[in-house]
Structure 1
Amino acid sequence: MICVEDWAENRRLHRAEQMPIRAIARHLGISKNTVKRALASDRPPKYERAPKGSVVDAVEVQIRELLRETPTMPATVIAERIGWQRGMTILKERVRELRPAYLPADPVSRTTYQPGELAQCDLWFPDVDVPLGYGQTGRPPVLVLVSGYSRVIIARMLPSKTTGDLIDGHWRLLSAWGAVPRMLVWDNETGVGRGRLTSEFAAFAGLLATKIYLCRPRDPEAKGLVERANGYLATSFLPGRHFGGPDDFNRQLTAWLAVANRRVHRTLGTRPVDRWEADKAGMLTLPPVDPPAWWRFATRIGRDHYVRVDTCDYSVHPRAIGRTVTVRADTEEITVTTAGGDVVARHARCWARHQTLTDADHAASAAVLRGKARNRQDPRLAATGTDTRPALVEVEQRELGSYDRLFTVIDGGNDQEEG
């Protein structure tokens, strides 16, 4: 079974580069049948083994010391200095990973982009408190994409920067474009990947048939377009605005970007919208599969009949108690379905933290079921068919004065009472 990265690369080379199956197999060093299976599947392969350590771990400290003194020292010289007795391939791979951290600064020059070549991506955290509901305010992240050729900007506020919300945000923004750039440039964002893509983002890249490039650490110039776009949003969109919530923020941002993309870009000397059609023509088409349907989780509904997504609890219809359900979440909606496709919960996504959201119909149905449970016949009757409880004993109710006479508190004590 191939890894998710190779699966994604198979699809990218076939769809974006128009490379035949035999060439892909030769390029990746795998069989043609493996390539065919990867192209036939819309789902990433599932990797189940736990990662194991490497024999290079024991000498990594020594390698770092040598690279700190001489960053350009060849791997063969490093092997000689540390007395390496094993294969060179694994050592060279580790040196290749560690070397960039010790190399001197690498200045960049101005880059030109071809239509549809790439889009730079980043998260912008606006310096304004946005009402999230339930008396809470926050500063959720805004996903910003800038196309390299046309400089068209598109952005959307997300509930969080988790992998699932980032994927859903990408999908909505790319759907608004109606096309997919051949490369998406990201820095080392945790939800996307540090050094290497997360398995979810690698699968997302494979579905889009695009390449996601992760910049080197401490290299903001590699995505200077989107960094400048973030500053543009902070200085030209944000000042003086007030927002009623995330939806209002996205509405105002979308309307403002429609105007901003029609302004003359200083570097290009033309308007981004005037270059957009040529830019879009060089991009890839959107796949027919909706990617948020991939990221879901299954859980069994207990008597509490609630499911937790992020930090909030959402009610589920009590008819699902004891059953295993599938919970699907995106940036706008939470949906819970049974194995038979029965929708037992549908809630708007809550942006506030640590809230409990209860559907009125779910609460009413639960109250009815609780009443029936309390009035249910005793379990022993259901088991035997007869009433096995002890018969009730009738107790005599005596006058209070008889107790006074019994303990000789008043006249006519024990003798009288006994008589």
Structure 2
Amino acid sequence: MIQVEDWAEIRRLHRAEEMPIRAIARHLGISKNTVKRALATDRPPVYSRPLKGSAVDAVEPQIRELLKQTPTMPATVIAERIGWDRGMTILKDRVRELRPAYLPVDPVSRTTYQPGELAQCDLWFPPVDIPLGYGQSGRPPVLVMVSGYSRIIAARMLPSRMTGDLIDGHWQLLTGWNAVPKMLVWDNEAGIGQGRVTVDFAAFAGLLAVKIFLCRPRDPEAKGLVERANGYLETSFLPGRTFSGPGDFNTQLERWLHVANRRIHRTLGTRPIERWEADRAGMLALPPVDPPRWSRFFTRIGRDHYIRVDTCDYSVHPLAIGKKVQVTTSIEEVIAILTPGGAVVARHARCWAKHQTITDPDHARTAAALRGEYRHHTAAQAARLRATAAADRLVDVEQRELTDYDRVFTLIEGDAGRNETGDGVS
């Protein structure tokens, strides 16, 4: 059998050079019949080895009969039924070839999304230690959100996975989009809901007027878009980067996403940013007011004028001691407000480290001054009490003049024979 190059040369010599068959055979050193066969076909020669029989051919009718009755029967069971005593590899290969003819057709539909239809959400835990301050480091969660239609990615690192922080993280990402998808897809995250949406997140969804869809357990394909985005962040954003803290992480992440959302998306064949306007046009508008802080609680300030949020303690103005305050938290800050009245008695930046005490210098100075005043007041009050007690121990006695005694004893002249009542001296 001649090679493809020889076949091509034969056709060239005959058509382009107009050489006769005999001359071509003499030139290439091949027979005239080979030249004739090469000129008789327009397809290059292909070598094919003659097929040999297989040991499975003898039992193929039995295999077909078993597959006809039970299309999903395993190859090991088929081998047992037909009494197969040879190698399993050739039998499994034949069963694999025959089985599709007996299975019902189950075509897979391609998932498509309409503009503004949904966004998939997830928490990504980057495998890198982030400095959190006070000599601590950790791996805080990153809230990742991917729009279904445009594949636009938004992400932000959060202090924790508690419901309040998740709500605040959603609000910040949606504010960046300036629109709200009609549905948010989540897995069974404890802060969102497991089987049922938590009360606080349901209230947040009501404010946004969106539907929260909770995936079934162990069903990662239901939110494959955001799962792939997590992998994309881990392989394309993290390598070679260092971070000085959560704020630096979010700053670098925002800059990187600005570039990443302008790259060609392999599945879409276009840039996500080019589909974004149509996607956002199909979304809902943001509510006209900011959401209330769902991460809040009420407490009465004791003599130790501190409040605890997560694992950290934050100082409160000492003048609020004994009064009731409302504490609200967000990703950035912790605020304490008097109730009633509305006066802000504490405002601190959120501490991402664990088990720390955060003190406002003004609160510390005021507390020191109040302690000094209290000690001075206590000392003065104690002195007054001591003086009063000493005075209470004295008895008032009438003090007579000495001349009265002189007259009584007739040491001087005068009406000494009478006392003050006019009676005679006895």
Output the TM-score relative to the length of structure 1. 0.66
Note the C-alpha offset of 1:179: 0.3
Note the C-alpha offset of 1:295: 3.3
1:38-76 superposed Cα distances (whole Å, 9 cap, x missing partner): xxxxxxxxxxxxxxxxxxxxxxxxxxxxxxxxxxxxxxx
1:160-190 superposed Cα distances (whole Å, 9 cap, x missing partner): 0000000000000000000000000000000
Counterpart contact for 1:163–1:191, Cα < 8 Å: yes
Distance 1:301-1:127 versus aligned 2 partners, 3 A rule: same
Could you tell me which residue of structure 2 aligns to residue 6 of structure 1? none
1:184-206 superposed Cα distances (whole Å, 9 cap, x missing partner): 00000000000000001111110
Distance 1:236 1:150 in 2: 20
Could you tell me which residue of structure 2 aligns to residue 7 of structure 1? none
Distance 2:381 2:134 in 1: 47
Distance 1:124 1:107 in 2: 33
What secondary structure, in the 3-state scheme, does the structure 2 residue paired with 1:387 have?
helix
Could you tell me which residue of structure 1 aligns to residue 270 of structure 2? 270
Distance 1:368 1:107 in 2: 78
Distance 1:117-1:366 versus aligned 2 partners, 3 A rule: same
What secondary structure, in the 3-state scheme, does the structure 2 residue paired with 1:373 have?
helix
Counterpart contact for 1:121–1:144, Cα < 8 Å: yes
Could you tell me which residue of structure 1 aligns to residue 194 of structure 2? 194
User: Higher relative contact order by CA 8 Å / sep ≥ 6: 1 or 2?
Assistant: 1
Distance 1:377 1:274 in 2: 73
Counterpart contact for 1:180–1:208, Cα < 8 Å: yes
Could you tell me which residue of structure 2 aligns to residue 368 of structure 1? 369
- Write the letter of the residue equivalent to 2:150: S
- Write the letter of the residue equivalent to 2:328: R
Note the C-alpha offset of 1:377: 4.2
Could you tell me which residue of structure 2 aligns to residue 124 of structure 1? 124
Counterpart contact for 1:381–1:387, Cα < 8 Å: no
Distance 1:229-1:377 versus aligned 2 partners, 3 A rule: closer
Could you tell me which residue of structure 2 aligns to residue 219 of structure 1? 219
What secondary structure, in the 3-state scheme, does the structure 1 residue paired with 2:293 have?
helix
Distance 1:303 1:314 in 2: 14
- Write the letter of the residue equivalent to 1:358: T
What secondary structure, in the 3-state scheme, does the structure 2 residue paired with 1:331 have?
coil
Structure 2 unmatched ranges of 5 or more: 1-105, 394-426
Note the C-alpha offset of 1:289: 2.6
What secondary structure, in the 3-state scheme, does the structure 2 residue paired with 1:249 have?
helix
Could you tell me which residue of structure 2 aligns to residue 299 of structure 1? 299
- Residues 1:249 and 2:249 are matched in the alignment: yes
What pairs with 1:30-49 in structure 2 (closer than 5 Å)?
none
Note the C-alpha offset of 1:293: 2.6
Distance 2:132 2:382 in 1: 53
Counterpart contact for 1:380–1:388, Cα < 8 Å: no
Distance 2:192 2:259 in 1: 30
Distance 2:252 2:123 in 1: 18
- Write the letter of the residue equivalent to 1:365: T
- Residues 1:162 and 2:187 are matched in the alignment: no
Q: Percent identity?
A: 73
Note the C-alpha offset of 1:388: 2.1
Note the C-alpha offset of 1:109: 4.6
Distance 1:109-1:224 versus aligned 2 partners, 3 A rule: farther
Distance 2:204 2:130 in 1: 30
Query: Over the residues paired in the alignment, what is the CA RMSD in angstroms?
Result: 2.4
Structure 1 unmatched ranges of 5 or more: 1-105, 393-419
Distance 1:305 1:379 in 2: 26
Greater CA deviation, 113-122 or 287-296? 287-296
Note the C-alpha offset of 1:292: 4.1
Could you tell me which residue of structure 2 aligns to residue 319 of structure 1? 319
Counterpart contact for 1:305–1:321, Cα < 8 Å: yes
Distance 2:108 2:209 in 1: 28
Output the TM-score relative to the length of structure 2. 0.65
- Write the letter of the residue equivalent to 1:248: D
Counterpart contact for 2:116–2:283, Cα < 8 Å: yes
Distance 2:391 2:230 in 1: 78
Counterpart contact for 2:200–2:294, Cα < 8 Å: no
What pairs with 1:3-402 in structure 2 (closer than 5 Å)?
109-339=109-339, 340-377=341-378, 387-388=388-389
